[in-house]
Structure 1
Amino acid sequence: VKDGIADWSIGEAIGIGSILRDNIHIRFTGEDVERGTMAHSPKLLAIWEAQYGDFADTAQPVFDTFIANGESKWVQQSGVVVQLPHGIDGAGPEHSSARVERFLAASDDDEDLIPNLDDKMMELANVTTPANYFHLIRRQVAMPFRKPLILMTPKIGLKHPYYRSPFKDFLPGTSFQRAIRESGPASKKPECVKKLIFCVGKVALTIDELRKEKKIEDKIALCRIEQIYPFPYDIVLQEFCLYENAKVCFCQEEHKNQGPWIYCKMYLKTR
Structure 2
Amino acid sequence: FTQPLMYKNIRSHATTLDIYSKKLVAEGVMTQGEVDKTKADWRSRLEAEFEAGVGGYKANKADWLDGKWAGLKAADLLEDPRRGNTGVEESTLKEIGKKITVVPDGFRIHRTIQRFLENRAKAIETGKDIDWATGEALAFCSIVMEGNRVRLSGQDSERGTFTQRHSVLFDQEDESRYTPFNHVAANQAHYEVLNSSLSEEAVLGFEYGYTLAEPNALTMWEAQFGDFANGAQVLFDQFISSSERKWLRMSGLVCLLPHGYEGQGPEHSSARLERFLQMCAEDNMQVANCTTPANYFHILRRQLKREIRKPLILMTPKSLLRHKRAVSRLDEMSAGTSFHRVLQDDAETQENEKTKLVEDSKIRRVILCSGKVYYDLFEEREKRGVDDIYLLRVEQLYPVPMKTLVQVLSRFKGAEMVWCQEEPRNMGSWHFIEPYLEWVLNQINATHRRPRYAGRPASAATATGLMSKHLAQLKAFLEEALG
Q: What TM-score, normalized to structure 2?
A: 0.52
Name which of 215, 224, 239 aligns with 2:408. Answer: 239
**What does 1:159-198 align with in structure 2 at a 5 Å threshold?**
159-185=322-348, 189-198=359-368
After superposition, the C-alpha distances for 1:79-108 in whole angstroms (9 at most, x for unaligned) are 000000001111111111000000111111
Asked if residue 60 in structure 1 is aligned to residue 229 in structure 2, the reply is no
The percent identity for this pair of structures is 42
Q: CA deviation at 1:31?
A: 0.8
Q: Secondary structure at the match of 2:424?
A: coil
Asked if residue 226 in structure 1 is aligned to residue 389 in structure 2, the reply is no
Q: CA deviation at 1:54?
A: 0.5
Name which of 31, 42, 64 aligns with 2:192. Answer: 42
Unaligned stretches of 5+ residues in structure 1: 110-119
Whether the aligned pair in 2 keeps the contact of 1:32 and 1:38 (CA below 8 Å) is: no
Q: Secondary structure at the match of 2:423?
A: coil
Counterpart of 2:311 in structure 1 is 148
Q: What TM-score, normalized to structure 1?
A: 0.91
**What does 1:28-107 align with in structure 2 at a 5 Å threshold?**
28-33=152-157, 39=167, 41-42=191-192, 44-107=217-280
After superposition, the C-alpha distances for 1:58-85 in whole angstroms (9 at most, x for unaligned) are 1010001110001111211100000000
Asked if residue 132 in structure 1 is aligned to residue 301 in structure 2, the reply is no
After superposition, the C-alpha distances for 1:111-154 in whole angstroms (9 at most, x for unaligned) are xxxxxxxxx11000000000000000000000101000000011
Instruction: Find the aligned partners of 1:11 and 1:187 in 2 and give their Cα distance.
Output: 29
Whether the aligned pair in 1 keeps the contact of 2:255 and 2:313 (CA below 8 Å) is: yes
Which amino acid in the other structure matches residue 228 of structure 2?
F
With over 3 angstroms needed to count, the CA separation of the structure-2 counterparts of 1:79 and 1:3, relative to structure 1, is closer
With over 3 angstroms needed to count, the CA separation of the structure-2 counterparts of 1:35 and 1:11, relative to structure 1, is closer
Instruction: Find the aligned partners of 2:377 and 2:357 in 1 and give their Cα distance.
Output: 16
Counterpart of 1:11 in structure 2 is 135
Instruction: Find the aligned partners of 1:123 and 1:13 in 2 and give their Cα distance.
Output: 22
Runs of 4+ in 1 over 2 A off after TM superposition: 2-5, 33-38, 182-188
Instruction: Find the aligned partners of 1:159 and 1:62 in 2 and give their Cα distance.
Output: 32
With over 3 angstroms needed to count, the CA separation of the structure-2 counterparts of 1:241 and 1:23, relative to structure 1, is same
With over 3 angstroms needed to count, the CA separation of the structure-2 counterparts of 1:137 and 1:12, relative to structure 1, is same
Superposed CA RMSD: 1.8
Unaligned stretches of 5+ residues in structure 2: 1-122, 168-180, 182-190, 194-216, 349-355, 441-483
Q: Secondary structure at the match of 1:268?
A: helix
Q: CA deviation at 1:235?
A: 1.7
Counterpart of 2:434 in structure 1 is 265
Whether the aligned pair in 1 keeps the contact of 2:366 and 2:415 (CA below 8 Å) is: yes
With over 3 angstroms needed to count, the CA separation of the structure-2 counterparts of 1:10 and 1:38, relative to structure 1, is closer
Total equivalences in the alignment: 260
Asked if residue 205 in structure 1 is aligned to residue 378 in structure 2, the reply is no
Instruction: Find the aligned partners of 1:81 and 1:234 in 2 and give their Cα distance.
Output: 25
Q: Larger C-alpha radius of gyration, 1 or 2?
A: 2
Considering fraction of residues, name the structure with more helix. Answer: 2
Whether the aligned pair in 2 keeps the contact of 1:123 and 1:230 (CA below 8 Å) is: yes
Whether the aligned pair in 2 keeps the contact of 1:51 and 1:84 (CA below 8 Å) is: yes
Considering fraction of residues, name the structure with more strand. Answer: 1
Which amino acid in the other structure matches residue 23 of structure 1?
G
Q: Secondary structure at the match of 1:27?
A: strand
Which amino acid in the other structure matches residue 42 of structure 1?
E
